[in-house]
Chain A
């Protein structure tokens, strides 16, 4: 991620340390110290000020990025809505991590799921390569759709892992992201503009409807950008990835690094002749409802694996899948919700094999199942 940010050479980057996001800002600071970027790094006193300064910098007309995790993202929450409401194309790298209490520094998706209705595009990354690619795609998407973008990778699992990476060349990145030339910005003092107005009942609602339209429009922008990116990188990109899905009866749906583990399980079970498949969600906001419906309509049993909770109801990804499939008639599928890995509890291939076994044996119900919790 830091390499992608270096190649972008953003104008402003307000930063505040938090585990497990810190390697991003540390690597970036080294790039600045060796003068391979000329970014203004603002070493702020909290994440709240990081996103606040990002709002100021972006409104001023500067290409702006930041990074955070967990409590930091929760502390930013108020300003996330302001950034998206002002339609500022800020890019934020998030190392997803559990939320306190109890305190836990390891990975799950509680932090990013808590921000899912803040009006930010959310891109999940399975591995280091996707995290790198998503930074480039995300920046271009933010600026094209004028909607802020969160690029999410799993804390520690991806943020601290060593993997092979095929980066683009600096020139290719430069050409792909282009120059940032906003239409209206604060430093254009000859054309003064007001950011952050107060809108009363006759106007506020309309602002929000427009914002939602923009978010939906960003889905088409995402398609355009990923097509261009696929040509450039020879890596195919879309809002989801289907893995052995075409003829699969038993399907697991997941987002983030666990997709990698699940692919190995699918390979193993396929060798045993079982018709299993995987649907990996890459774009979580806006949610690719139609695409998911089309990808899943042949499945018999579907297990949705969430790495977050929505206390008192079904978890977020599960709810999105239900929402995608609700008008599929006749109802040909069974759906099972699983929650796994909270606070960094490992999920093993054997756990995912067990999920497929449940599906195959028809052990499917309306009750949430918890992977790795002893009954």
Chain B
């Protein structure tokens, strides 16, 4: 395997065939030359990389619990600050200066939108310098595919199963980006595992950010979205081509010490012609039940939501 690609996370991890998580992790960690410390919430990435006595991690790593990755990162980052102040950070041979260390949290949507939301909010508000990455597969995949507050409207999951008279999840996905934005941090981006170049560029910006930054990355999960293992890139691309998952970023323009009042939205990719939502939905078993005459209106409703969301995004992105 490519040595550069695997310098932080080696082969031999246990993620499912066709999982996008290793791509996300390697792309993001590969976007900095500084040493990194990884803080990981309980979830797919954690259980597939830490089974004692083996690990593919080549960088320092800590898993604490499910809901507290951001709080754990706060402790690690605070330790770095004080040990730097006290001259106790290992020095680099090059110029005998103390190591500049980056801190990256990886959490799934459960560990971000749901159980991890409080500790995320606290850590963002306190301004710790770290990159929080949510790999978002829109369900509790590690426990077998239950609904999370990232699960889209109309999806069938283990806890919102579809039936003849039930179209599955009736609730709307939480707008986590806007919640994060309310903390006045300086860099927020939505990315997609199927677009690694875009993800890398965003990770570079996140690492260059003073204070906290947040990356929300679409992670097509073949197990729980239910599609063939060879298809995660195709499904990921359709999510963006249909405007279901636009690629965009929010960055502070100068502004105050807490992140600035002038936040600029930038759409990183606009499809020439947006694909109908059916094309995205039909690739996945979680939406299979929608393709019946009685559920036609549900698909129409989803299309309406997607188009509304895109319009809203275009509008905020056009504000100078």
Contacts and interface: CB of A to CB of B under 8 A. Distances in A.
Interface of A: 11-12, 14, 38-40, 42-46, 48-50, 52-62, 64, 78-79, 82, 186-190, 192-200, 203
A54 B89 CA distance: 18
A64 B61 CA distance: 19
A43 B74 contact: no
Contact of B119 (A38, A48, A58, A195): A48
Given A55-B62, A187-B101, 4 more contacts: A56-B39, A192-B61, A198-B51, A200-B52
A40 B52 CA distance: 33
Contacts of A187: 37, 60, 76, 79-80, 83, 89-90, 99, 101
A196 B99 CA distance: 24
5 contacts: A12-B82, A48-B67, A48-B71, A187-B60, A196-B62
Given A57-B75, A203-B53, A195 B63 contact: yes
Contacts of B75: 12, 14, 42, 52-60, 62, 64
B64 A189 contact: no
Contacts of A43: 126
B295 interface: no
Nearest to B100: A189
Given A56-B74, A187-B90, A195 B118 contact: no
Q: Most chain-B CB neighbours within 10 Å: which of A38, A57, A194?
A: A194
A241 B71 CA distance: 40
Interface in B50-72: 50-53, 55, 57-65, 67-68, 71-72
Interface string B77-99: 11111110110111000000001
B35 interface: yes
A190 B90 contact: yes
Contacts of B59: 189, 192
Minimum-distance CB pairs A-B, first 4: A56-B75, A45-B122, A53-B75, A60-B79
Contacts of A193: 60-61
A187 B81 CA distance: 11
Contacts of A195: 61-63
Contacts of B55: 194, 197
Nearest to B81: A40
A40 B60 contact: no
A53 B82 CA distance: 14
Contact of B79 (A62, A82, A190, A203): A62
A148 to B, nearest CB: 14
A197 B63 contact: yes
A78 B65 CA distance: 9
Interface of B: 35-37, 39-40, 46-47, 50-53, 55, 57-65, 67-68, 71-83, 85-86, 88-90, 99, 101, 118-119, 121-122, 125-126
Contact of B51 (A40, A78, A197): A197
Contacts of B79: 11-12, 40, 56-58, 60-62, 64, 186-187
Contacts of B126: 42-44
A57 B55 CA distance: 22
B300 to A, nearest CB: 41
Contact of B52 (A48, A53, A54, A197): A197
Q: Which has the most chain A C-beta neighbours within 10 Å: B57, B68, B118?
A: B68
Contact of A189 (B51, B52, B88, B90): B90
A189 B121 contact: no
B259 to A, nearest CB: 18
B124 to A, nearest CB: 10
A58 B62 CA distance: 11
Nearest to B35: A189
A44 B71 contact: yes
B71 to A, nearest CB: 4
A203 B52 contact: yes
Contacts of A200: 51-52
A49 B122 contact: yes
A82 B83 CA distance: 23
Contacts of A49: 68, 71, 74, 118-119, 122
B82 A38 contact: yes
A59 B76 contact: yes
Contacts of A53: 71-72, 74-75, 78
Contacts of A11: 79, 82-83, 86
A264 B89 CA distance: 53
B52 A56 contact: no
Contacts of A192: 57-61
A52 B111 CA distance: 14
Nearest to B119: A49
A252 to B, nearest CB: 41
Contacts of A82: 64-65
Given A57-B79, A197-B51, A197-B52, A46 B63 contact: no
Nearest to A54: B75
A56 B99 contact: no
A186 B37 contact: yes
Contact of B62 (A38, A44, A54, A186): A186
A46 B83 CA distance: 24
Contact of B65 (A52, A62, A203): A52
A82 B78 CA distance: 20
Contacts of B80: 60, 187
A278 to B, nearest CB: 41
Given A64-B75, A194-B55, A194-B57, A79 B64 contact: yes
Residue among A52, A55, A79, A195 facing the most chain B CB atoms (10 A cut-off): A52
Contacts of A46: 118-119, 122
A38 B57 CA distance: 33
A10 to B, nearest CB: 9
B24 to A, nearest CB: 19
A198 B46 contact: yes
A290 B187 CA distance: 60
A82 B82 CA distance: 24
